[in-house]
Amino acid sequence: MQTLDLKLDSLSQAPDAQIVSASSLSLSLPEAPRRFFRHGWQSWSLAAWTDVTPLPIQRPTLLHPMQSDPLYAYETSPNSSWVGAVELEDDSILLLGALGLDAHVTLKSDRPSIAGQRLQGQYEAGEGEWLIAHGDETTVFAHYADELGKRLGKKSNQSTPRIWCSWYSLYTAIDESILHRIFDGLGDLPFDVLQVDDGWQVSIGDWEANAKFPSGMNALAEKIKSTGRKAGLWLAPLIAVESSRLFRKHPDWFLRDGRGRLVSAGFNWGERLYALDTTHPDALEWLTQFMKQVRGWGYDYLKLDFLYAGALPGKRHVDMPREAAYREGLKHLRQAIGADAFFLACGAPILPSLGLCDALRIGPDVAGQWEYPRDANLLYNHTTPGTRNAIRSTINRLWLQPLVMTDPDVAYFVEHENFLSEEQKQLLQDLALVCNFKATSDLPQWMTPVERESLLRFLNATPQMKRLSHAIFQLDDRIVDFATVLSLPKPPTGATRLWGASLGWLGNQSLALKILKRLDDRALKQRMNRLKDKN
Ligand code: 9PG
């Protein structure tokens, strides 16, 4: 396939959109664009309209594999996974989007142009094809979603469940008795799923109930189902920590680079993470059995997390493009789970997950904190937990709505243990309504009667939603404006930059991260004890 050189002028005669085939292509622009739309690789990565100047390298770099596409983490010129767009002087938007996997878009400033590049060989229909669309933002992105749907598949007709999830109140500080009390306390609030998050397992890789769940995972699912709801469970099937039995027993199942060194999948839970090579037949067989076991325990809603690990660059057992390998692995996962279970993909590379999951997280984690100046300004990292980060990327990924249920993460209703203002909580609740995906982690024990009432109203609401512009929405007769949330802080300069660099260095030291984790764990334990005292 050839390299194409195109000019926007030559396109403007043509229809507003056209599909071209090329392994790489370059589209000259009439002038330097005003803004660039960058689309981060996986759920947590940044999706935003930014100006066209280079952005600082995100820190700490140790976390690149879990927060960005590590292949482009050091590329400072504006670049984007699969699809990029520019805003021109006449307010029109020009979109260049890959219709297959393993493709990237970059903005070149010398001779203003937008370039697309495919990385590796053909795998599925649509690869090597690009959509070029020119017009208003809504139209060009709708066109892109439409073409992707034809090639990668679209969402099922299932209705969106309303979910209670354990993560955003107690994090890993959960145990059997606390969860039982919460499930009882939720009473007849109209949730469809009660989802147990991280904290139940022996370790990442060793997916059995830990000592805090002495009755086992089966009994926990039974308890949930006895309340008339579906049981949901969090799992991170494609990663393992280095101390896990799985990793120590089968180091050959994990992804390595061309020189045989293990590929880092990031750092979390105070440990290094490694990625399962899903093209290894034994690893795949283990995955399949594992998924069947979880279904057998009685869980019908699965939040499969840290899925990006399946698409990291490396040398696989079967030599194939990384995103194609991921998609093949996901097909197996989907089959093992069964079509009748609900599959939420999280921390997942966006395009390769389409058509295979029911719902997709489209932004970073929310938090009971609006923004952390350390991350936003010093580390210039907009992928870390924080409500502003979550809203920003989510709004910029709403174009995915025709393709998959879009999960903006949970909304908050309580004041207890939460630092968001009333306005910020309202904005997050409205985001959930815009996404048509309702979830919360609020604890019944923390709710005042008024808060419980507002949660009930939220769960029962079915407003008519209309997008009026990029950031402004109408929900029934209410106008909701996200505009002030979406901008990015100015990149650090001078002393702030030096500060950021030192902090970034510290963030790469596993010892520092381990200490931070200890402190976090201690604070969580205290939170859990306060809750226990309350009962
Ligand atoms: C459980 C959590 C919750 C949450 C997920 C995921 O370091 N990181 O970049 C990072 C990002 C997200 C994250 C954890 C770490 O959270 O999104 O809902 O399930 O895992 O551990």
Q: Which atom of ligand 1 is nearest to the CA of 383?
A: 9
Q: Using most ligand atoms within 8 A of CB, pick from 67, 238, 365 the residue to mutate for ligand 1.
A: 365
Going by CA atoms, what residue is nearest to atom 13 of ligand 1?
Answer: 365
Ligand 1 contacts CB of residue 198 (under 6 A): yes
Establish whether the linkage from the previous residue to 463 is cis, with ω within 30° of 0: no
Q: What's the confidence (pLDDT) of residue 13? A: 55
How far, in Å, from the CA of 192 to the mean position of ligand 1? 23
Task: Give the C-alpha distances (Å, rounded to integers) separating 317 from 255, 259, 361.
Answer: 8, 14, 29
262 forms beta bridges with: 256
Whether 440 contacts 412, CB under 8 Å? yes
Strands (E), 51-112: 79-81, 83-87, 93-98, 103-108
Residue with the two structure tokens 């000259």: 28
Which of 268, 303, 372, 381 to mutate for ligand 1's pocket (most ligand atoms within 8 Å of CB)? 268
| Ligand 1 pocket test, candidate residues 44, 241, 524, most atoms within 8 A of CB | 44
Atom of ligand 1 nearest to the CA of 409: 18
pLDDT confidence of residue 110: 83
Residue 440 Cα to ligand 1 middle (Å): 15
Q: Is 371 in the pocket of ligand 1 (CB under 6 A)?
A: no
Question: How far out from the chain centre does Cα 188 lie?
Answer: 30
Model pLDDT, residue 535? 65
| Gap from CA of 411 to ligand 1 centroid (Å) | 16
Q: How far is the CA of 46 from the centre of ligand 1 (A)?
A: 15
DSSP state, residue 287: H
How far away, in angstroms, is 64 Cα from ligand 1 center?
A: 14
58, 167, 440, 510: which to mutate for ligand 1, most atoms within 8 A of CB? 167
Is 234 a pocket residue for ligand 1 (Cβ < 6 Å)?
Answer: yes
Q: Is 66 in the pocket of ligand 1 (CB under 6 A)?
A: yes
Position of tokens 């210039």? 380
Report the C-alpha gap between 15 and 145 in whole angstroms: 18
AA identity, residue 217: M
* Ligand 1 and 268: CB distance under 6 A: yes
Contact 96, 318 (CB under 8 A): no
Confidence (pLDDT) at 532: 85
Between the CA of 502 and the centroid of ligand 1 the distance, in Å, is: 25
Q: Is 67 in the pocket of ligand 1 (CB under 6 A)?
A: yes
Q: Are 427 and 152 in contact (CB under 8 A)?
A: no
> What is the signed CA dihedral for 64, 65, 67, 73, rounded to 10 degrees?
50
Ligand 1 touching residue 167 (CB < 6 A): yes
Distance 365 CA to ligand 1 centre (A): 7
Q: How remote is the CA of residue 305 from the centroid of ligand 1, in Å? A: 8
Element (H, E) at 310: none
pLDDT of residue 306: 98
Does the beta carbon of 44 lie inside 6 Å of ligand 1? yes
Closest ligand 1 atom to 303 CA = 19
Ordered strands of the 129-135 beta sheet = 17-21, 129-135, 93-98, 83-87, 35-39, 47-50
Tens place of pLDDT per residue across the chain (535 aa): 567 888 776 665 556 899 999 989 999 999 999 999 999 999 999 999 999 998 999 999 999 999 999 999 999 889 999 999 999 999 999 999 999 999 999 999 888 999 999 986 556 556 789 999 999 999 999 999 999 999 999 877 778 999 999 999 999 999 999 999 999 999 999 999 999 999 999 999 999 999 999 999 999 999 999 999 999 999 999 999 999 999 999 999 999 999 999 999 999 999 999 999 999 999 999 999 999 999 999 999 999 999 999 999 999 999 999 999 999 999 999 999 999 999 999 999 999 999 999 999 999 999 999 999 999 999 999 999 999 999 999 999 999 999 999 999 999 999 999 999 999 999 999 999 999 999 999 999 999 999 999 999 999 999 999 999 999 999 999 999 999 999 999 999 999 999 999 999 999 999 999 999 999 999 999 988 888 887 6
Q: What pLDDT does 2 receive?
A: 61
According to DSSP, the residues that pair with 148 across neighbouring strands are none
Cα(89) to centroid(ligand 1), Å? 39
pTM for this prediction? 0.97
